[in-house]
Structure 1
Amino acid sequence: MTSASLPVVRRVLALFVAALFAALFPGAAQAQDANIAARLLVEGPVAKGGETRIAIEFSPKSAEWHGYWSNPGDAGLGMQVEWDLPAGITIGDFHYPPPKTLLIGGLMNHVFEGDYAVVAPLRVASDAAVDGPFELTGKAFYLACTDTICVPQEARLRAVVGVGAGEQDSRFAAFQSALAAPLDQPARFAMEGDSLRIAIPLPASLNVGTPHVFVGTRELVRYAAPQRFARAGDMLVAEIPLAEGAAMPASLSGIVRLGDGTGLQFEGAPGTVPTGGEPIRMGSDLPPWWALLGAALLGGLILNIMPCVFPILSLKALSLAKAGGSEASARKDALAYTAGVVLACLALGGLLLVLRASGEAVGWAFQLQEPGVVVALFLLAVALTANFLGAFEIPGMAITGGGASGRGSFATGLLAAFVATPCTGPFMAAALGAALVLPWPLALGLFAALGLGIALPFLLVGFVPAIRQRLPRPGKWMVTFRRWMALPMGLTALALGWLLWRTGGTMFLVVCVGAAASVLGLLAVLLAPAERQQTKRKPLIAMFAIVAPLLLMHAAQQFDPDASNATSDMLASQPFSEAALAQARAANRPVFLYFTADWCLTCKVNESVAIETQASAKALDGADAVVLRGDWTRRDPAITAFLTQQGVAGVPLYLWYAPGASAPQRLPQVLTPQVLPDLATASAQPDDSSR
């Protein structure tokens, strides 16, 4: 027997011993304190020929105890009730909240944690022999378990049901809202190969998150096996591995739990289940979490060479070398910078998760889809460029010497992380996509690793004396170097200005440039070197402090999202839509689908090097390929939903659909010039040979 199988054996033995003990000594389970107490409740009085509802409320004595759904899964016991009912009184089937999955030792259980209630209808026949309040009694048999032990429970149920009219128990509204709501349309299911496939009718507009299907029929599916899902129009298609020797049922019922924890109850009959569809990314198909952490760390490290981040990192390293100082001072400066970077990544990642949980269609770098944020970044990039040119000295960004500045380094870390978000490079796609489907503590761990990757070079400079000693000795060249760093930062400012024009039009850009000039004037007066400072600065400060906000307010009035020219490219691409993609694939033509944004540096480099080229255009035209372009510069819920289905949180994303292929081929985030010509040539070869 292997060590991995020991937890399973122990669990089975515990269940067997508990059941044997209860059978031999039935009073023992009754006499002991209830690990999960059960109480019978009635919603209100009922008239003859009428109906009311009853509920059994379960309350564990501590958080470690859990109960079971009607189909408990691989182990456990569903609730059973023996009623002692007056003549003419009937009780229907109980309805349950959506359960949770609990995986222990390879066994999947369907459990309830904390307080929960099950609800059933109670009907009184018109000829029932009840003329006044009557007593409802019964016994409930169920199982209470922790992760290590299970104990059979028996609860005596008793309640008095009034006859006629009266007040209703307000608690039933909360009980009802927690139940899995029944669907008004039937599901369809089929057994194909070794899988059970279920088509559940859900509107295409409904965000299902990461769903899970709980099948009511026992011994039909392998509960612990990964479930696969796809979207086919208004159908959610689930594919679940069948249990060994499973037989085709005449009907099927169950609960589909959505990613937000709500559930929907379905009833199904055998029928045709759609094939294909867009797959939904599930947490079960992700790489190990440690691998995702490594990918986020490497992705953050690579972001340091981006033109908007590298100048900031370089000047911080040089300022540390210039300042000299003690080991403690260097480490304090490095830790402050790292704290700023990691906090910014956690804040952006946490906000992203909160917005998505509230139903907003957002992805990584979502803040750049807001014109106001782009304006702020543009002003910041212009100010940093002027700082590098020596117009003034922003605290924490100077190289004039002095001790380490913890406050300045922390602010610089916040800045470096914020300006790095437009870019996603190698290794980052898997990590950021996984953050959308993992539990939030694990997702925040990935964002923290991304921040640590960005901060790592400067952290090493601060903590490894040998690296600081290898930095060039201070001298006049450092001023020249700082001025050279104005070049990439200036290019970043130009790129943001181009983005302002693309999103808001010419007048919007002109007014924003005026506001930037006013901000520069204000900073030049406030932060100018001592030898340049004027004795009477208050009038200038007041003037610039008034003019800059007025210009920014005027810029908001000039914003015109329709003013920029429509995007045109060498590939004669069409705008992305689900319908356009389905139409192109139905025509059995190759499809190149790419998602981009004007603020994405990686996207623009790929377009100039590998997409918008004569070779790619000629090859794609020769293969009769359809090119679809998803522009994510501004927020687009349809594009965000599709990116989420593909398991990514941002752009770029490049997909190639070969004719007849059931799934797309995902291309690297950094494209080489020959990628598209090679794919197009391979797709065109079958057509050439058939002529």
Structure 2
Amino acid sequence: MSTHLLQRWLFTLIFIATSAFSISAGAQISLKTSATAGSSVVTTPYVRAELVAHAPEGVGPGQPLWLGLSITHQPEWHTYWKNPGDSGLPTQLQWQLPEGMDAGEIAWPVPHKIRIGNLANYGYEGQVLLPVPVTVSGAFAPGPLAKEVTVQLQASWLVCRKECIPEEGHFTLQLPLRSTTAVDAAAFAAAHQAAPQALPVGSDGSSSARVQDGALVLRVAGLPAALQGQTLEFFAETASVIETAAPYTQAWEGAVWTARIPLSPQRSASPEPLPVVLAHGGQGWRAELPVAGGWPALAAAATVSPALEAALRANAQLGNSPAPGAAAAPAPAAAPLGTWLLALLGALLGGLVLNLMPCVFPVLAIKVVGFARHAQDTRAHRISGLAYTAGVLLSFLGLGALMLGLRAAGEAVGWGFQLQSPAVVATLAVLFTLIALNLAGVYEFGRMLPSSLAGLQARHPVADAFLTGVLAVAVASPCTAPFMGASLGLTATLPAAQALGIFAALGLGLALPYLLASWLPAFARALPRPGAWMQTLRRFLAFPMLATVVWLVWVLGQQTGIDGAAALLALLVALSMAVWALTLRGTARRLIAPLSIAACAWLAWNWMPNIVEIREQQAQTAPVSGAWQPWRPGLADEIVATGRPVFVDYTAAWCVTCQYNKKTTLADAEVLADLAARNVALLRADWTRRDPAITAALTQLGRSGVPVYVLHAPGKAPVVFSEILSASDLRAALAAL
């Protein structure tokens, strides 16, 4: 099947720019320092960092002492403030000081806003000193002969331009005990001048904050008179409170500065009082504003998410203890009629596109041969179409009911869940082997059945059409087509009746082309008359069936290891020999059939554990090659926090669509070059075996099965791509980074 034919049915998504950060191909997330042991200076390609001190009266109890990390950035590079903004990490200092010396918090200088595309960060460029006050108590006793005291610092910082490099350094500095350390006095004086001055907040309400209509309304009094009428910069000390990059309005009401600043829709903190910094001309003023009327309740981020609840329930089913405080899942609420109808339409279209998936094609080809057999009998032709449709619909409804029942029992399952069971995979491999042998002419069902059953089969060919519909659903279930993902994802939140309606619409979409064809006389007249060509085509169709068996054995190997795959192959060979032996006549049958059946039974009895049991060493995520890393919960967020985009491939060995995309779009040289050029982190979440964490992640994305492709970027909601991944769409999204 050509790429053009598949892409004709592609559900086109509108991609939005997800980040202004692009990562250079040569950038590495590594720690680069050039300091030797005992040095006070660390030099990297991006910064020069130095541990400095200011002790005007020497080092002793009660005497003022300041330590600090001075960072000189290369042009266009920056590090971050205590609240880094939309991305980044603040500089961290860990001190190792003699007994009696205690380091305080960093006296952060006023930052400035660093805009990169749609993001706004708070940080420093050029040269900055991060001063730290040190208290020297009476417990400080260096000894009467000591002339110096040693201080050590372990510092880490994130330095960024468009790419971000986490770095660290170990610093050592010798301080004279009885003489002044004034070399860096001017730098400390400038840092003190750059630190925001405290503004008193009285009880008269002249300075306050309140939340109104999704925005933070501020009133700040006590600012210098010279600032009146000036435009001030606003910085929230607490991360994830305001929409950092959003414009805000400000005005002066006499001597009171007022502003209206949008709250972050992902607000995860409610500081009381609210610490804010205002800045102008390199100077700053800090106030802790009371929040009048209090904060509104946090969004769902403050509670246990439905995806996490599903993972916890699945964890409990596996015998693990649930997390404390896990709430019971709320009863599903009925979707609005418009939403449900839209989901039905998506499922119907998804079922139609499912006919083009390579996993369904072999069975549908058999159905076309069946149509040709009844083409000249209009009544039989129509009954066959109805029977096939009934088989598809009932199978989809049964599969949907089973999936919903398992979810209600606490199992974390999604579309295609049955293929996560090695026993189901092995059973399907046996079934398709038997079908392939039948198509190849090795045996006929009628000759192997008792005459009464064979006659029944001949009198009721409608059963063949019904079972063909069941078989079509069995091979279609590992596939996810465009339009299907969102509709199936919605079933997790709907009552049973509405959810089953979506599964029925999906089945109707799969069966609809053949139902219509069976009732259209023109289609029947277009089919060739039955003849010798049908036998040739029938035997040809045995090979797609055998190819399906190869795929199923490969899937089983991913689940149980090479021993399981080899055991299944041996069993299939023995089964094929037993079927062939049963077609023999006379002495040959009496000699060969019992031996082959015994061999088949012996293999099944002794090797079944190798086939159906997931070995302990196989339970871990299989290593991935090349630039791909194994996915784990939270890893994407950790990487995005450094300012780096992340592309996640939710896949499974039994998902044919996944393998198609992996061999085409995800192997495309231009796509790989674009990913490397922007240093996009590549994560692969392998759902071949049951994994409640992956199920929970898919649920959070509103999906119920694989494939799912997601692009994460700092400050943006995840972008979910179509099930059939287009190289042009992916490259367009990467170009917008």
1:424 aligns with 480
TM-score, normalised via structure 2 length: 0.52
Cα deviation, residue 544, structure 1? 4.2
- Counterpart CA distance in 1 for 2:486 and 2:383 is 33
Which of 317, 333, 340 is the matching residue for 2:368?
317
User: What is the one-letter code of the residue matched to 1:447?
Assistant: F
SS at match of 1:495: helix
- Residues 634-684 of structure 1, C-alpha deviation per residue, up to 9 Å, x if partnerless? 0000000111111111001111112x333111111111224444433432x
**Aligned ranges for residues 395-406 of structure 1 at < 5 Å?**
405-406=461-462
Asked if residue 511 in structure 1 is aligned to residue 572 in structure 2, the reply is: no
User: What is the one-letter code of the residue matched to 2:384?
Assistant: D
2:669 aligns with 614
User: What is the one-letter code of the residue matched to 2:385?
Assistant: A
Cα deviation, residue 304, structure 1? 2.3
- Counterpart CA distance in 1 for 2:531 and 2:305 is 66
Q: Is the 8 A contact 2:631 2:685 kept in 1?
A: yes
- Counterpart CA distance in 2 for 1:331 and 1:348 is 26
Percent of pairs with identical residues: 38
- Residues 467-516 of structure 1, C-alpha deviation per residue, up to 9 Å, x if partnerless? 11211122211122122222322221111111122222222212211211
Asked if residue 597 in structure 1 is aligned to residue 648 in structure 2, the reply is: no
- Residues 223-252 of structure 1, C-alpha deviation per residue, up to 9 Å, x if partnerless? xxxx99966476569xxxxxxxxxxxxxxx
Distance 1:230 1:647, change over 3 A: farther
SS at match of 2:534: helix
1:679 aligns with 733
**Aligned ranges for residues 558-569 of structure 1 at < 5 Å?**
558-559=610-611, 560=615, 562=617, 567=622
Asked if residue 290 in structure 1 is aligned to residue 336 in structure 2, the reply is: no
2:353 aligns with 302
1:440 aligns with 496
Q: Is the 8 A contact 2:623 2:630 kept in 1?
A: no
SS at match of 1:455: helix
- Counterpart CA distance in 2 for 1:233 and 1:554 is 52
- Could you tell which deviates more after superposition, 339-348 or 367-376? 339-348
Structure with the greater alpha carbon radius of gyration: 2
- Counterpart CA distance in 2 for 1:630 and 1:675 is 21
Cα deviation, residue 462, structure 1? 2.7
Cα deviation, residue 460, structure 1? 2.5
Distance 1:423 1:569, change over 3 A: same
Q: Is the 8 A contact 1:653 1:669 kept in 2?
A: yes
Distance 1:680 1:198, change over 3 A: closer
Q: Is the 8 A contact 2:266 2:299 kept in 1?
A: no
Distance 1:299 1:553, change over 3 A: farther
1:115 aligns with none
Distance 1:196 1:333, change over 3 A: closer
- Counterpart CA distance in 1 for 2:645 and 2:487 is 29
1:631 aligns with 686
Question: Which protein has greater RCO, CA pairs closer than 8 Å, 6+ apart?
Answer: 2
For this pair of structures, how many residues does the alignment match?
424
Which of 533, 537, 543 is the matching residue for 1:481?
537
1:586 aligns with 641
Distance 1:229 1:500, change over 3 A: farther
Which of 650, 653, 661 is the matching residue for 2:705?
650
SS at match of 2:711: strand
Q: Is the 8 A contact 2:650 2:687 kept in 1?
A: yes
- Counterpart CA distance in 1 for 2:652 and 2:642 is 28
- Counterpart CA distance in 1 for 2:405 and 2:574 is 36
User: What is the one-letter code of the residue matched to 2:405?
Assistant: V
- Counterpart CA distance in 2 for 1:653 and 1:583 is 20
Asked if residue 554 in structure 1 is aligned to residue 606 in structure 2, the reply is: yes
- Counterpart CA distance in 1 for 2:701 and 2:298 is 12
- Residues 516-553 of structure 1, C-alpha deviation per residue, up to 9 Å, x if partnerless? 1222233335578xxxx558746655444443343233
Cα deviation, residue 439, structure 1? 1.3
Q: Is the 8 A contact 2:395 2:473 kept in 1?
A: yes
User: What is the one-letter code of the residue matched to 2:345?
Assistant: G
Q: Is the 8 A contact 1:434 1:648 kept in 2?
A: yes
SS at match of 1:578: coil
**Aligned ranges for residues 106-255 of structure 1 at < 5 Å?**
232=301
Distance 1:569 1:286, change over 3 A: farther
TM-score, normalised via structure 1 length: 0.55
- Counterpart CA distance in 2 for 1:192 and 1:682 is 27
- Counterpart CA distance in 2 for 1:313 and 1:229 is 52
Which of 577, 596, 600 is the matching residue for 1:521?
577
- Residues 389-442 of structure 1, C-alpha deviation per residue, up to 9 Å, x if partnerless? 22223579x9xx977602222222211111110100111111111111111101
- Counterpart CA distance in 1 for 2:297 and 2:553 is 44
1:452 aligns with 508
**Where does structure 1 lack aligned partners over 5 or more consecutive residues?**
1-190, 202-226, 238-255, 263-280, 684-691
User: What is the one-letter code of the residue matched to 1:630?
Assistant: A
Asked if residue 368 in structure 1 is aligned to residue 419 in structure 2, the reply is: yes
User: What is the one-letter code of the residue matched to 1:363?
Assistant: G
Distance 1:656 1:547, change over 3 A: same
Q: Is the 8 A contact 1:309 1:416 kept in 2?
A: yes
Distance 1:360 1:229, change over 3 A: farther
Query: What is the Cα-based RMSD across aligned positions, in Å?
Result: 3.8
User: What is the one-letter code of the residue matched to 2:557?
Assistant: W
1:411 aligns with 467
Distance 1:551 1:284, change over 3 A: same
Distance 1:196 1:428, change over 3 A: closer
Q: Is the 8 A contact 1:323 1:404 kept in 2?
A: no
1:211 aligns with none
**Where does structure 2 lack aligned partners over 5 or more consecutive residues?**
1-259, 271-295, 307-324, 448-453
SS at match of 1:350: helix
**Aligned ranges for residues 20-169 of structure 1 at < 5 Å?**
none
- Could you tell which deviates more after superposition, 322-331 or 293-302? 322-331
User: What is the one-letter code of the residue matched to 2:719?
Assistant: Q
- Counterpart CA distance in 2 for 1:233 and 1:525 is 66
2:724 aligns with 670
Q: Is the 8 A contact 1:610 1:675 kept in 2?
A: no
Q: Is the 8 A contact 2:406 2:413 kept in 1?
A: yes
